[in-house]
Amino acid sequence: MGRRAHGRRLRRLVRTGVREHGRRPVRSARVLVRIRRRKRQRRMTTIAFIGLGVMGGPMAANLVTAGFTVTGYNRSPEKVERLVAAGGRGAGSVTEAVAGADVVITMLPDSPDVRAVILGDDGVDGVLAAAAAGTVVVDMSTIRPDVARELAAAGAERGVPVLDAPVSGGEQGAVDATLSIMAGGDESAFNQVLPVLEALGSTVVHMGPAGAGQTVKAANQLIVAGTLELVAEALVFLDAHGVDRERAVTVLGGGLAGSAVLDRKGPAMLARDFAPGFRVDLHHKDLGIVTAAAREAGVVVPAGALVAQLMASLRAQGHGSLDHSALLLLVEQLSRPRP
């Protein structure tokens, strides 16, 4: 192609919105300006990230990759060092991490942990005491909806919006930045932090007022636990009939019984690989949230209550640190003859 024809083709590609030409992206000057502005805005947005565990570690690293300035704090310092190695900054306390931050994200195990970190504990200042007015706090842990509402009210008194934005998608979703994020709280604060949330997940939805995100997350955990239990039962059932379970999982996955739970957890269950992932301890905590919230609303969740008991039994047997797919062990035990 001659140079003039090539130039004409490039201009046409830009005009028609096509962004790729060969291996080099074709972008109009306006698009380039927008991309540069967005990168500058990200560099200028400082994020404090508290809780760098299975989920928080890769999420904080993804924010660094997306161009944000990220300062991490975790109770065990080796996890902070991992973030620093990934290009983030490290802090030695909550107050040090929060100083100068525009956005504070918490990704902690349970309601008491989040309450202690945000409100302070035992004479130690928390996020709200250290944050300047206008800072937006986003709690992405899974906690009780009533605690999320309490934290939002405490933040509002200080001019610091506190959003609840729990996630679904597991460790892989955190690593791949494809989490599903369900948010509750002040809508303008949500819009303010949307570019940050979009760097962590592929589905980001504002659900309503404070606590609404946690309510949706509780429903998510109800569905996941129930499905896992039925997958475990199906695997034991298939095995008892001598059926090839790998092939069965493939064909089941293509029909109405197919699900993300079957796709992602089925092969690991067949391989008896129960390394977490999502710990039984955490799902036990979440099913406590589900059953309490159902009681509070005056509705019944009989299958949810049953699977909550099964998860509790798995934990009582000492399997709290295994992946929740270890429900298979319990179902096998229920069908095994006594020794």
Number of Cβ within a 10 Å radius of residue 49: 32
Contact stretch for ligand NAD (CB under 6 A) within 52-60, 239-247, 252-260, 264-272: 52-60
Residues 6+ apart with CB under 8 A from 329: 274, 314, 319, 322
Query: Is residue 126 near ligand NAD by the rule CB under 6 A?
Result: no
Under the binding rule (CB under 6 A), the answer on residue 291 touching ligand NAD is no
Q: Which of 48, 55, 261, 327 binds ligand NAD (CB under 6 A)?
A: 55
Which C-beta is closer to ligand NAD: that of 46 or that of 74?
74
Using the rule CB under 6 A, which residue among 63, 160, 167, 331 binds ligand NAD?
Answer: 167
109 binds ligand NAD (CB under 6 A): yes
CB of 276 to ligand NAD, least distance (A): 7
* Interaction between residue 171 and ligand NAD (CB under 6 A): yes
Residue with tokens 């005056």: 298
Residue number, 252 or 325, with CB nearest to ligand NAD: 325
Q: Where are the alpha helices (DSSP H) in 199-279?
A: 212-240, 245-253, 260-270
Residue nearest to ligand NAD (CB): 53
- d(C-alpha 324, C-alpha 209), whole Å: 30
Contact predicate 140/114, CB 8 Å: no
Of 109 and 226, nearer to ligand NAD (C-beta) is: 109
Using the minimum distance from each CB to ligand NAD, give the nearer residue, 147 or 199. Answer: 147
Q: Is residue 54 near ligand NAD by the rule CB under 6 A?
A: yes
Nearer to ligand NAD, 92 or 134 (CB): 92
Write down the least CB distance from residue 73 to ligand NAD, Å: 6
88 is a site residue for ligand NAD (CB under 6 A): no
Structure tokens at 89: 């900054």
Options 108, 128, 165, 216; binder of ligand NAD; rule CB under 6 A = 108
Peptide bond into 277 cis (omega under 30): yes
Structure tokens at 179: 């989490």
Cβ 283 vs Cβ 225: under 8 Å: yes
Collapse the DSSP code of 203 into the 3-class scheme (helix H, G, I; strand E, B; otherwise coil) and give the result.
strand
- Residue 125 touches ligand NAD, criterion: CB under 6 A: no
Kindly tell me which residue out of 48, 63, 107, 210 binds ligand NAD, with binding defined by CB under 6 A: 107
List the end-to-end C-alpha distance of the chain, in Å, as a whole number. 79
Q: Is the CB of 102 or the CB of 286 nearer to ligand NAD?
A: 286
Strand blocks (E) in the chain = 20-21, 24-25, 46-50, 69-73, 89-90, 103-106, 136-139, 162-164, 167-168, 179-184, 201-208
CB 127 within 8 A of CB 133: no
Q: Write the DSSP assignment of 165-180 as a string of letters.
A: --EESHHHHHHHT-EE
Q: What distance in Å separates the CA atoms of residue 127 and residue 107, rounded to the nearest whole number?
A: 13
Binding of residue 68 to ligand NAD (CB under 6 A) = no
Please report whether residue 141 would count as binding ligand NAD according to CB under 6 A: yes
Kindly write out the interface string for residues 220-239 of this chain, putting x where it contacts ligand NAD by CB under 6 A and - elsewhere: --------------------
Q: Which residues contact 109 (CB under 8 A, 6 or more apart)?
A: 51, 53, 141, 282, 285
The correct pick among 142, 214, 215, 259 for binding ligand NAD (CB under 6 A) is 142
CB of 118 to ligand NAD, least distance (A): 10
Residue from 56, 184, 185, 201 touching ligand NAD (CB under 6 A): that is 56
- Which residues are tagged catalytic? 217
Nearer to ligand NAD, 180 or 192 (CB): 180
**Would you tell me which residues interact with ligand NAD (CB under 6 A)?**
50-56, 73-76, 79, 107-109, 113, 116-117, 141-142, 167-168, 170-171, 277-278, 282
